[in-house]
Amino acid sequence: MVQLPQINNQELPKTEVGSYFVANYPPFSVWSSEHVPAAAAALDGAPRTDVPLGLYLHIPFCRKRCKFCYFRVYTDKNAGEVDVYIDALAREVALYADRSALNGRQFEFVYFGGGTPSFLSSQQLTRLIDRIREHWTWEAAREVTFECEPGTLKRSKLETIKEIGVTRLSLGVEHFDDEILEANGRAHKSPEILRAYDWAREVAFPQINIDLIAGMVGETDDKWKRTIEQALAMEPDSVTIYQMEMPHNTVVSREAKAAGQAVPVADWATKRGWVDYAFRQFEAVGYQVSSGYTLIKPEQHNGFVYRDSLWHGADLIGTGVASFGHFAGVHMQNVDGWQDYIDACRAGKLPLNRALPIAPKQALIRELVLQFKTGRLDAGYFRGKFGVEIRREFADAFDSLGAERLVDVDGDSARLTRKGLLQVDALLPRFFERTFQNIRYT
């Protein structure tokens, strides 16, 4: 039995209110509306053929707002309003089909994210896909991922999800302890997880992932151990484990601030210890660590097309309210207001709100920090693509990581140690340009 590490909580950094996860570069806080014309110009350029193209569809509905959630989601929309949104979303995807830089291109990967994509009914889903198919070839996608909340699933809905081409189902389990699920405001309970998972296996999706979170409010060593035991028993094709962060706009952050107290979430070293424990348990039965958050069952896994494409500079059309995209070197994000989004799509205008064209060095840093989340970097890749020796260009960052025994460098290979991998997001700002190192991230 692998033992949980003993932690001296007095010496460790607390979980403060704020963002920790590095999802992109440069930081979102420097994207702005003045750059939206650059996004439009990129979409009106010559057709691009040298990078894969993906589609992200944001379904911003949830049954209930989790107390740690910081996404743009709605819990109060009725069926008619959901229909209005689906219509706008289909129109937005169609608008992209008319842009010259997208002529003749097909989606290599598609991601239904949320919110809760499985909040949609089978009829709504089928209608959305039928509308998209009027403008895009859907069948070319090598991977179609669909996020689900267990309590929204029925066997018949899972059959529809499979029929629309989904190859990878991602189940938002988060935890198996009902008290913890309740305390964190999750809409589902553990019996719904097991029932949904059995149905998903019966329907035979090629890949099933389960998401867990280490450090939910109320977490203990014993509860985490039992959750990992239950996750192991399910034998998912992959498991994703996030460490709980607490950005400003969550219910937990607001309640803690109002009470003048710290957020009731374990410190970072404890959370890393829980993830390390989970990694070792899964590795003991044959899983491989695929990033700072992910384990895969190697014999049943051919990689993540969405993740790996994005982390190597693919184009992504981000559709839906508040969605993020990246096209031909320009970051872009949609408006985050419901009516603004619906009105723009109805008027035949892309609902872009802010953008940022990035310089070649920023594209390099973006790929470097994203790829480092796998725990590995290959200097040869960056030499070939950007003509830059990353060991020399980022000597200070590599040297400091090496001095702290967080990275091992050998020739072209840089590998994070397990200690480094478990805190990878906290290390990545060392590679940022100086002007972006101490600014607000989101």
Tell me the residue type at 424: V
Kindly state the smallest distance separating residue 214's Cβ from ligand SF4, in Å: 15
Residue 155 CA to its chain's centroid (Å): 26
Which CB atom, from 77 or from 430, has the smaller least distance to ligand SF4? 77
In contact, 208 and 235? CB cutoff 8 Å: no
Kindly state the smallest distance separating residue 286's Cβ from ligand SF4, in Å: 30
Binding footprint of ligand SF4 on the chain (CB under 6 A): 62, 65-66, 69, 71, 73, 114-116, 149, 172
Kindly state the smallest distance separating residue 63's Cβ from ligand SF4, in Å: 8
Which CB atom, from 68 or from 372, has the smaller least distance to ligand SF4? 68
Q: In Å, what is the CA distance from 217 to each residue of 15, 150, 270, 273?
A: 12, 20, 13, 16
Kindly state the smallest distance separating residue 111's Cβ from ligand SF4, in Å: 14
Q: Are strands 288-289 and 413-416 parallel, antiparallel or unpaired?
A: unpaired
Which CB atom, from 189 or from 225, has the smaller least distance to ligand SF4? 189
The single-letter DSSP state of residue 285 is: T
Kindly state the smallest distance separating residue 172's Cβ from ligand SF4, in Å: 6
Q: Are strands 238-243 and 288-289 parallel, antiparallel or unpaired?
A: unpaired
Kindly state the smallest distance separating residue 35's Cβ from ligand SF4, in Å: 27
Determine the Cα–Cα distance for residues 285 and 201; give it in Å rounded to an integer.
20
**Residue 383: enclosing H or E segment and its boundaries?**
helix 379-386
Conformational region of residue 138, where left means phi above 0, alpha means psi within -120 to 50, and beta covers everything else = alpha
Kindly state the smallest distance separating residue 389's Cβ from ligand SF4, in Å: 41
Which CB atom, from 149 or from 315, has the smaller least distance to ligand SF4? 149
Kindly state the smallest distance separating residue 53's Cβ from ligand SF4, in Å: 25
Give residue for tokens 């008290």. Answer: 179
In contact, 138 and 130? CB cutoff 8 Å: no
Give residue for tokens 């070939």. Answer: 384
Which CB atom, from 38 or from 171, has the smaller least distance to ligand SF4? 171
Which CB atom, from 63 or from 385, has the smaller least distance to ligand SF4? 63
Nearest to 319 by CA among 301, 309, 334: 334
Which CB atom, from 184 or from 374, has the smaller least distance to ligand SF4? 184
Which CB atom, from 112 or from 136, has the smaller least distance to ligand SF4? 112
Kindly state the smallest distance separating residue 362's Cβ from ligand SF4, in Å: 29
Kindly state the smallest distance separating residue 27's Cβ from ligand SF4, in Å: 22
Determine the Cα–Cα distance for residues 58 and 319; give it in Å rounded to an integer.
6
In the three-class reduction of DSSP (H, G, I as helix; E, B as strand; rest coil), residue 162 is classed as helix
Determine the Cα–Cα distance for residues 114 and 323; give it in Å rounded to an integer.
10
Nearest to 386 by CA among 407, 359, 425: 359
CA pseudo-torsion sign 231, 215, 66, 342: negative
Nearest to 151 by CA among 199, 110, 109: 199
Which CB atom, from 43 or from 73, has the smaller least distance to ligand SF4? 73
215-242 burial, b if ≥16 CB within 10 A, otherwise e? Answer: bbbbbebebbbebbebbbebebbbbbbb
Which CB atom, from 211 or from 315, has the smaller least distance to ligand SF4? 211
Which residues on neighbouring strands pair with residue 408, listed in sequence order?
A: 415
